[in-house]
Structure 1
Amino acid sequence: MSNPLADMEKPQTIFCIGTNMTECHPVAATRLKKAVANGARMIVADPRRIGLCDHADLYLPIRVGSDVALLLGMAHVIARDGLVNEAFVRERTTQVEEFFEHIKGFPPEWAAEITGVPAADIEKAARWYGEVERGAIYYTLGITEHICGVDNVQSLCNLALMTGHIGREGTGINPMRGQNNIQGAGDCGALPNNFPGFQSVIDPAVQAKFEKLWGVKVDLEKGCTKVAALDRCGDEIKAMLICGENTVVSDPNLAHCRKALERLDHLVVADIFLTETAAMADVVLPATSWGETDGVNTNTERRVQRLRAAVPPVGEAKPDWWLLSELAKRCGLRGFEWQSAKDVFNELCEVSPLYHGLDWDRIDTGEYHWPCPDKDHPGEPRLHSEGFINGRGVFKLLDYRDPAETVSDEFPVWLTTGRRLPAYHTHTQTGRSAGIDYLLSEETLEVHPDDVADWGLSDGEWCTMSSARGSIRIKVQANSCSPRGTVFASFSFADTPVNILTGGGYDPATDTAELKVCPVRIEASFRA
């Protein structure tokens, strides 16, 4: 997030797009509710009428995968109606003339035909966001899990640059991270294109820095993504280590994923439970859970926080850093002689400019947001207050493109996937709680009541849902949350493997799967 969580209570206009925040980030969502109660206006753009819409002043029911069209239409209106922050654009952006010429071709009427949102509502959303002093954007995986995920994010950045809604209290571009340490994992270099601290692996100066630090030759090229790694299993890749991820439930195109793992000579899984993925492993390494672990999390607002073990580990469970250290040492690798989580974190602070002013002791109270470049620096809750890292914000010239797969006579229904409040991710932890099971005991397919009638389905009965990659059986839940022609399910239950169906396309820049758009066919069925 560019701004701290506390700023969620301070915008005059809140624009939420592709985020089911009341279910996926329910605590953070209370801040938006407070802002609305205090007079802020909230716009929600989502294919489904999610719970957040109950607090919205304007709901934009976009068709799945049409975000770029909506955002181009809004940009057109902001420019047309004189809502551009001319001083900000002049002083802090580049590629200005080309961008403003480009968006002339995308009026709200054009956007309405693609998104299904009335042109008048697109205009209203643009004006509400553009005319205020403090406007803030919030998004999650509903923006990024598309073949055009990068385009979606850059389209949102264009809106912020046009209006100057960045670098100030109650503004910003704010991605709500999907899990508790996703931000921290990226900070540490758990990305194929970056060393720790988002230092590029293709920068020769950075390469030299890490070669000196690690004492080994470092390739001057990007690593492969997980998607590419699975494609190479059994060929260039003979062995794999999976830490804390239930790949054969959460990944798209599960049949392909499972076959890829089966082609490996050796699979090792480190996890806190024997998940469906761990059950496939040749070796399972028992890891400690959050309550048994000393460590560090960096949350969605870039706040660096200590974790403290509350209870001793069960059985032979060890923290992830210890497992990785021991594996490395037994493979003959140097530089993994850590004795504690403190050693690991302090090394991160040495090599990452974002963390350089921090250390294990300084983060004791969890008060610092990166970047914190030196010991006297107070941290930076708001990014881009004085400028951008490259000097100027770059307007991107983007065009709308259809999802990788669109509805057809064979697959005439849009499926979109996501999460539900009672079930965390693949149910590895929440599925082992009897209390949670009382709230959500099985997966269901959310279908509009009129579609239930027209398709010959029955509420609470079974249907077969098929895509180009396979079929599953799932119970029908008549629910008007989804519009006609669109259905919804989560991927939390291994016995209802929704991700067998997904995986029709990937963002060419990031390899992120298009989990939010999948054409399917729905047929009445009976459980054998």
Structure 2
Amino acid sequence: MHNREFVERATSGFDDYRAAVDAWTLDRAAEVTGVPADAIQEFAHAYALASTVQLCWTLGITEHHCGTDNVFSLINLALLTGHIGRWGSGLVPLRGQNNVQGGADMGALPNKLPGFKDVSDDVERARFEAVYGTQLPAEPGWHISQMFDAMERNDLRSVYIIGENPAQSEADATRVRGLLAGLDHLVVQDMFLTKTAGFADVVLPAVAGWAETDGTFTSSERRVQLVRRALDPPGEAKDDLVIIADLAARLGHDWGHPTAEELWDELRGLSAIHAGMSYERLASHGGLQWPCRDEDDPGRPFLHGRLWDDPVTGSRAPFTPVEWIPPVDELSEEYPIRLTTGRRLDSYNTGVQSGRYSSPKRWGESIDLSPEDAATLGLADGDLARVTSRRGSVEAPVRTDPDLRPGLAFMTFHFPDQVDTNVLTLDAWDPKSGTSEYKATAVRIEGLGESS
């Protein structure tokens, strides 16, 4: 059912990919995944034969120690069927927050400069050094999981955290808090006094990025949009740009106080994919999608259309064979249930922003179980249960969910002051992305009686 013409003309590595998946019969796939073989077959036929189709995914794919390989598996399916690089078909990662794409675009990755240029590229790095007026490291830095490992080795002793609450959001939270508490110096820049800020030596009050500052956000579809200040910041809170410029001045580097637009224009001069996105054009178009290489460029609504050129423009798209690897946290007689964590509609991350108001859709934290597991454990809705992993225990009320299959439990991390879910999760991380395995914790569940 593969698109033979597309595969032969536009891709590379197909033979190695075919060899890698040859052993995966429907029966084996059903045994490993728990998804019935006929359902897998039905989906495979529907996906391959559809005229247009998109593969959309969220953190349930990526928050595993093999998350990158999971994404490669989806890319392989799109290449196999030709569902990429054309209207209505493609790969759509739905980001976990509203500006994850923008952060990556701006170089908030340890191995990338803004515009996705490699820090190891001497020519590209020299361009940035000429504008920045300083020498940049030629080696990649640490991602967040490596930073905590470095704290444990005492190689990282001073940390500056902006708009993040790792004391409650990171996996194996007990370990994380111990490492934060043991730092020589911790600076936290945030609009709320978070749990992480409680460990800080210095707290710098920041502003609300959606109402009290100018700048840009970039959506999952690569659309850069302007954000305009609507309100002046309260009290002593300052724009992130002001705080960083003030800090630079105290460290002996007078950057002045450039506006958000001036900094954006500097970025456009360095990142070719943003070069055509002036503030004026962003405002008049209601946003533009990169790549947008000059001020006559309308941007690109989808990527990889070149793969349909004959012959293909540029390099072919490679298949990436991957091997199935089970979760690190193995199920056992002592820990027989698989816990996955995630989000609910009305709440956001650790509740720093969403936990300060009530919602009719919110019921607080719970341990969600299939009706079958609840019956086996002698538990009913509202009962209090202890959930224990190899790292710690929490107590939470039980909620049955008929959409959960037996053996799978669910919790969020939205209410850590009520139930500290990330005490349970595992900090084993993907060697390619650095993302921890939040989605596959082995737990046992014990009833504690009716919840008060």
Matching residue of 2:59: 141
Match of 2:39 in 1: 121
- Give, in whole Å, the separation in 2 of the partners of 1:441 and 1:269: 30
- CA shift for structure 1 position 233: 2.3
| SS state at 2:281 partner | coil
Contact 1:370 1:379 in 2 (8 A): yes
Report if the CA contact (8 A) 1:231-1:260 is conserved.
no
- Structure-2 separation of matches of 1:399 and 1:232: 29
- The answer to whether the 8 A contact 2:367-2:399 is kept is yes
Match of 1:98 among 16, 37, 41: 16
Is residue 404 of structure 2 the alignment partner of residue 485 of structure 1?
no
Question: Cα offset for 1:84?
Answer: 1.5
**Kept after mapping to 2: 8 A contact 1:357/1:373:** yes
Unaligned runs of 5+ in 1: 1-82
Tell me by how many angstroms 1:302 deviates. Answer: 0.7
Counterpart pick for 2:187 among 268, 273, 293:
268
Give the match's secondary structure for 1:397. Answer: coil
Equivalent pair of 2:350/2:415 in contact (CA under 8 Å): yes
Give, as a single letter, the amino acid of the residue that structure 1 aligns with 2:324.
Answer: Y
The equivalent residue for 1:501 is 424
Would you say 1:253 and 2:194 are equivalent positions?
A: no
Could you tell me which amino acid in structure 2 is paired with residue 187 of structure 1?
Answer: D
1:135-160 C-alpha deviation (Å, 9 max, x unpaired): 21000101100011111100101111
Report the CA distance shift for 1:257/1:390 in structure 2 as closer, same or farther (over 3 A). Answer: farther
Structure-1 separation of matches of 2:120 and 2:219: 27
Amino acid across the alignment from 1:439: K
Whether 1:166 aligns to 2:84 is: yes
Counterpart of 1:429 in structure 2: which amino acid? Q
Which of 513, 519, 522 is the matching residue for 2:436?
A: 513
State the match for 1:17 in structure 2: none
Q: Is the 8 A contact 2:207 2:237 kept in 1?
A: yes
CA 225–390 in structure 1, closer or farther in 2 if over 3 Å, else same? farther
Give, in whole Å, the separation in 2 of the partners of 1:333 and 1:219: 19
Q: 2: distance between equivalents of 1:191 and 1:225?
A: 7
Say which SS state the counterpart of residue 170 (structure 1) adopts. coil
Contact 1:404 1:504 in 2 (8 A): no
Which secondary structure does the structure 2 equivalent of 1:174 belong to? Answer: strand
- Give aligned-pair identity as a percent: 41
Q: CA deviation at 1:255?
A: 0.6
Alpha-carbon distance between aligned partners in 2 of 1:226 and 1:98, rounded to the nearest angstrom: 33
- 8 Å CA contact 2:226, 2:287 repeated in 1: no
Return the alpha-carbon distance in structure 1 between the equivalents of residues 339 and 313 of structure 2.
Answer: 39
- 1:413 corresponds, among 328, 337, 354, to 337
Match of 1:404 in 2: 328
Deviation of 1:441 after TM superposition, in Å, equals 4.5
Unaligned runs of 5+ in 2: none
Counterpart residue number, 1:9: none
What is the RMSD of the two structures over their aligned residues, measured on CA atoms?
A: 1.7
Hey, what does 2:381 align to over in structure 1?
459
Please say if residues 167 and 173 of structure 2, whose CA atoms lie closer than 8 Å, have aligned partners that are also in contact: yes
Q: TM-score normalized by structure 1? A: 0.81
Deviation track 1:271-299 (CA, whole Å, cap 9, x = no partner) reads 11111111221111111112112111011
Query: What is the DSSP-based 3-state SS (H/G/I as helix, E as strand, rest coil) of the residue aligned with 1:127?
Result: helix
What is the aligned counterpart of 2:243 among 294, 302, 323?
323
CA pair 470-401 structure 1, distance change in 2 beyond 3 A: same
| Equivalent-residue separation in structure 2 for 1:337 and 1:229 (angstroms) | 31
1:338 and 1:344 in contact (8 A); partners too: no
Name the structure 2 match of 1:393.
Answer: 317
Residue 25 of structure 2 is aligned to residue 107 of structure 1: yes
Contact residue 504 and residue 518 of structure 1 kept, 8 A: no
Work out the CA distance in 2 between the residues paired with 1:131 and 1:489. 36
Query: In the aligned structure 2, how far is the partner of 1:481 from the partner of 1:333?
Result: 57
Equivalent residue number for residue 522 of structure 1: 445
For 2:265 and 2:256, locate their aligned partners in 1 and report how far apart those are by CA, in whole Å.
Answer: 13
TM-score (normalizing by structure 2): 0.94
Does 1:428 find its partner at 2:352? Answer: yes
